[in-house]
Each structure stands twice: as structure tokens, then as C-alpha cells.
């Protein structure tokens, strides 16, 4: 009997997640025997990094406790560690009750959005910005309401535009700081202005602070909760990047909510969290150890990343036809393509690049960019020799296919 095809939900068909969508193309390229340089995904563990040993030890030492279900909202020790971390970052009022742990920051973000947004409502999101937000908004049937980060001004958020674009259906303003894909770090002055807009419209701030420990050139990070005053903030974090443990899947959110404006909303986040029954038990102990324990790994990690950032910034700006703003945090660069592209498509450019050279990056369309501009994201986690090889290949590819045409 021919079974009929089972259609997936229409809303799920709307989800796009560029960092993963390019992988099948790279796999095709690998099948024909070409070596692929995976510069598409922010996973340090693919390269020469290791998770700090004490995170593993914490899991090992808590084996018995890690075998059963956890509290639906997470193990209280981990929640307390998140609250202590929030205090260290300048938000003294946050308690363990204000923190919930999740399967990575991703689940925290998705849950917080599900609890907030009705169909047709919107959230102001940065463009360029990390694609989980636009992907989940599509799934929730919410239109995108994007504000630009200004490339001419080190990718700082355009606050005037935020102000102009808040409307009756705007439920939150999202800030991603440090930003993925630009590696930019927002100034305290700019962040304060964004808080003022949120305050004037009585809407909360969503603060994705996933990369808050990964800063270069002595750059200072300002947590949104530390300067928000009475404006409520939901902050997202995880051990994936700061603690080199993306496979552990440990993330959290906490609220800064001095007036209790988020009380009903936060109960709803808890209700959804209870639906999942339990979060992952072993990682609770690793999160607790990461946030409470020594931070020594950063002493090695930051200089190592900074060297790779320096090389990336130099090489990208030396390639004719490309230009790049210096990343100040995280491990991404977002170079601009300054030559015309066939079909005006940076997606096609990135597909041709991987087919011809094996270098896999992510196209700018996946993160957002001003109309008429084109970019791609490159991950500068790999060792210098891998990065150099990738830049040689990109340089050759651009020179051969895009610059010499018509000569």
C-alpha cells in the first residue's frame, strides 16, 4: 500500500538557520574527495581547545545526583551559581529564584520567546544578528522587526532606528552583546540609550550575553542588568563559549526585575520549563563549577583568540574587494564584499566558495545586512596555519572569479 506523504507543520517550514543550512553542501563537497575547512560554526572543540578539566570533574564527583531527574527549573546549586554570576556582573538583586537552567542558551532563548510572543507581535532584533531569534520569530508567526548595527560605527546599534521602530506590537528589544556575527561590543552609552527607549515604552530588554567573557584589546563588557535600573531585563548565557563546553548543553536565563513587572511572564517561562519535566542533570554540576570555580582558562584563551583575530583582521583587509571591521569580542568576523555578485546573492558566493576551495563560511543573508551590502561570517577559532590556508584560498577565489572579469 502506498502510504500518503505526511506533511510537516507549515510554521516549521518557515524556520531558517544559516549556520547549519550550509553543512549539507560541504558534505557533498567532501564526498567528491575535497578537504573542507569548516569555518562556519562557532564550536571551539573542533580545533585546539579543551573544556576546563574541573567541569568534567564536577560531573564525575556528582554521579549519583546526576542519575535522576532534576527539578524542572534546574538544580538549585546551578541556579544559585547563575545568580552569583549575575551579581558579579553588576545585578545585585538577582536570586536563584530568578534563574532557570536550560539545554544550552538556545533552549532558554526559545522558551523565553514562546512565553512572550503572540502571533503577529514583534521583538526588535539586531541585524546582523544571530539567527536563532529570526528563526524562532518565523516559527511563532511573528514578523521580523530589525534594527541595524552601523558598520561605519564599529557595528554599534542604531538607537534612533530602534526608537522609530518600536510599535504597539513590540514586546521586547533584543541586544546581542558581544554580537554574533560581527564580533562587535556595544558601548555602555549606547546600551543605556537602548534601555531608555525600552523604559519609555514599558517593554523589557532581552540581553543575549553568551560571549560576555570573550573580549579583546582590554574592551569592557557592560551587562544590561547592571545599568537597567527599573527596566526589566531577561539575560541569556551559557557555558558553551565562555567555558569551551558547547557539547555539554548548559545554558540559563535570569531576570533582573526590581519592580516585579515580569512576574506573570516569568511564571509562564516556568510553566513551559515544567513541560519538559527535567533538564539535563549532569551538566548542572558543570555549570555550577564553571560559574563558581577558577576562571584561569580565560588567561590562556583570550591571548590565543586575540592572535587569531589579529591575523583574520589583517588578512581580510588585505584581500582586494573585501573589508572588515575589527572584532572586539566573541570569535567571529563579518567581512564585507565590495564587488558585484552574480544574482546579487552572497549565498551563491559562499556556495561557489566551498565548491571550488573547500572553505566553508556562512553567507550574510543568514544574519542580516543592509540592503545593497553583502557579507559573510568567518569563525576565527582555528590555528593560524588553518586560517592562513583559508585566507589564501579565499584570496585566490575572489581574484580569479570576481576581480579579473572583463579585463
Q: How far is the CB of 126 from ligand PLP (least distance, A)?
A: 10
Q: How far apart are CA 329 and CA 332, in angstroms?
A: 8
DSSP state of 4: P
How far, in Å, are 115, 185, 390 from residue 328 at the CA level?
33, 6, 21
Pair 161, 200: CB distance under 8 Å: no
Annotate each residue in 187-226 with x if it binds ligand PLP (CB under 6 A) or - if it does not, as one string. Answer: ---------------------x-x----------------
3-state secondary structure 146-168: EEEEEHHHCCEECHHHHHHHCCC
Among 74, 105, 128, 364, binds ligand PLP (CB under 6 A): 105
Q: Is 78 helix (H, G, I), strand (E, B) or coil?
A: helix
Among 40, 62, 70, 106, binds ligand PLP (CB under 6 A): 106
Q: Compare residues 91 and 245 and give the one whose CB is closer to ligand PLP.
A: 245
Q: Compare residues 15 and 261 and give the one whose CB is closer to ligand PLP.
A: 15
Q: Compare residues 248 and 397 and give the one whose CB is closer to ligand PLP.
A: 248
DSSP state of 402: I
Alpha helices, DSSP H only, in 97-241? 104-116, 131-139, 159-165, 188-200, 224-227
The stretch among 60-68, 104-112, 362-370, 387-395 that binds ligand PLP (CB under 6 A) is 104-112
DSSP labels for 239-271?
Answer: STTTTT-GGG-EEEEEEE-TT-TTHHHHHHHHH
The stretch among 99-107, 274-282, 379-387, 388-396 that binds ligand PLP (CB under 6 A) is 99-107
Pair 250, 238: CB distance under 8 Å: yes
Secondary structure E strands in 211-355: 233-238, 250-256, 322-323, 332-333, 336-337
At a CB cut-off of 8 Å and minimum separation 6, what does 398 contact? 319, 320, 321, 322, 339
The stretch among 44-52, 101-109, 218-226, 263-271 that binds ligand PLP (CB under 6 A) is 101-109
Among 44, 52, 104, 204, binds ligand PLP (CB under 6 A): 104
Q: How far is the CB of 354 from ligand PLP (least distance, A)?
A: 20
Binding residues with ligand PLP: total (CB under 6 A) = 13
Annotate each residue in 29-68 with x if it binds ligand PLP (CB under 6 A) or - if it does not, as one string. Answer: -------------x--------------------------
Q: Check residue 379 for interaction with ligand PLP (CB under 6 A).
A: no
Burial code of 21-31, b = ≥16 C-beta within 10 A, e = fewer?
bbeebbeebee
Q: Check residue 180 for interaction with ligand PLP (CB under 6 A).
A: yes
Q: Check residue 145 for interaction with ligand PLP (CB under 6 A).
A: no
Q: How far apart are CA 256 and CA 245, in angstroms?
A: 26
Q: Compare residues 51 and 357 and give the one whose CB is closer to ligand PLP.
A: 51
Q: How far is the CB of 342 from ligand PLP (least distance, A)?
A: 30
Q: Compare residues 104 and 364 and give the one whose CB is closer to ligand PLP.
A: 104
How many CB atoms are located within 10 Å of the residue 335 CB? 24
Annotate each residue in 228-247 with x if it binds ligand PLP (CB under 6 A) or - if it does not, as one string. Answer: ----------x-x-----x-
The stretch among 22-30, 98-106, 287-295, 392-400 that binds ligand PLP (CB under 6 A) is 98-106
Q: Check residue 128 for interaction with ligand PLP (CB under 6 A).
A: no
- CA neighbours closer than 13 Å in the CB half-sphere of residue 129: 26
Among 36, 140, 176, 350, binds ligand PLP (CB under 6 A): 176
First and final CA of the chain: distance in angstroms? 61
Q: How far is the CB of 312 from ligand PLP (least distance, A)?
A: 17
Q: How far is the CB of 274 from ligand PLP (least distance, A)?
A: 20
The stretch among 100-108, 116-124, 216-224, 304-312 that binds ligand PLP (CB under 6 A) is 100-108
Phi, psi of 365 (to 5 degrees): -55, -25
Give which of 210, 287, 251, 208 is closest to 103, Cα–Cα: 251
Binding site for ligand PLP (CB under 6 A): 42, 104-106, 130, 176, 180, 208, 210, 238, 240, 246, 251
Amino acid at each position: 500500500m502506498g502510504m500518503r506523504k505526511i506533511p510537516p507543520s507549515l510554521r516549521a517550514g518557515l524556520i531558517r538557520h544559516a549556520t547549519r543550512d550550509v553543512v549539507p553542501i560541504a558534505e557533498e563537497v567532501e564526498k567528491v574527495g575535497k578537504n573542507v575547512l569548516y569555518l562556519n560554526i562557532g564550536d571551539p572543540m573542533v580545533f585546539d581547545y579543551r573544556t576546563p578539566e574541573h567541569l568534567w570533574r564536577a560531573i564525575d564527583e556528582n554521579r549519583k545526583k546526576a542519575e535522576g531527574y532534576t527539578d524542572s527549573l534546574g538544580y538549585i546549586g546551578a541556579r544559585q551559581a547563575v545568580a552569583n554570576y549575575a551579581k558579579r556582573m553588576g545585578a545585585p538583586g538577582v536570586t536563584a529564584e530568578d534563574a532557570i537552567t536550560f539545554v544550552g542558551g538556545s533552549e532558554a532563548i526559545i522558551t523565553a520567546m514562546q512565553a512572550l510572543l503572540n502571533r503577529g507581535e514583534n521583538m526588535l532584533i539586531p541585524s546582523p544578528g544571530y539567527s536563532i531569534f529570526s528563526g524562532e520569530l518565523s516559527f511563532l508567526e511573528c514578523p521580523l522587526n530589525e534594527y541595524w548595527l552601523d558598520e561605519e560605527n564599529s557595528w554599534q546599534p542604531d538607537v534612533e532606528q530602534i526608537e522609530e521602530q518600536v510599535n504597539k506590537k513590540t514586546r521586547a528589544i533584543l541586544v546581542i552583546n558581544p554580537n554574533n556575527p560581527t564580533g562587535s561590543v556595544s558601548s555602555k552609552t549606547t546600551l543605556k540609550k537602548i534601555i531608555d527607549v525600552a523604559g519609555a515604552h514599558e517593554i523589557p530588554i532581552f540581553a543575549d550575553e553568551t560571549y560576555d567573557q570573550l573580549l579583546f584589546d582590554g574592551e569592557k563588557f557592560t551587562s544590561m542588568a547592571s545599568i537597567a535600573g527599573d527596566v526589566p531585563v531577561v539575560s541569556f548565557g551559557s557555558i558553551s563559549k565562555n567555558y569551551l563546553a558547547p557539547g555539554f548543553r548548559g545554558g540559563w536565563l535570569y531576570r533582573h526585575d526590581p519592580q516585579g513587572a515580569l512576574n506573570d511572564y516569568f511564571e509562564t517561562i516556568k510553566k513551559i520549563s515544567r513541560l519538559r519535566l527535567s533538564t539535563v542533570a549532569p551538566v548542572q554540576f558543570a555549570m555550577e563549577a564553571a560559574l563558581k570555580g577558577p576562571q584561569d582558562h580565560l588567561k590562556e584563551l583570550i591571548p590565543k583568540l586575540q592572535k587569531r583575530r589579529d591575523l583574520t583582521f589583517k588578512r581580510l583587509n588585505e584581500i582586494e574587494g573585501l573589508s572588515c571591521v575589527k572584532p572586539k569580542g566573541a570569535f567571529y568576523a563579518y567581512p564585507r564584499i565590495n564587488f558585484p555578485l552574480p544574482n546579487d546573492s552572497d549565498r551563491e558566493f559562499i556556495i561557489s566558495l566551498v565548491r571550488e576551495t573547500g572553505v566553508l563560511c556562512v553567507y550574510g543573508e543568514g544574519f542580516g545586512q543592509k540592503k545593497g551590502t553583502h557579507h559573510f561570517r568567518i569563525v576565527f577559532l582555528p590555528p593560524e596555519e588553518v586560517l592562513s590556508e583559508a585566507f589564501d584560498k579565499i584570496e585566490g577565489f575572489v581574484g580569479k572569479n570576481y576581480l579579473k572579469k572583463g579585463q
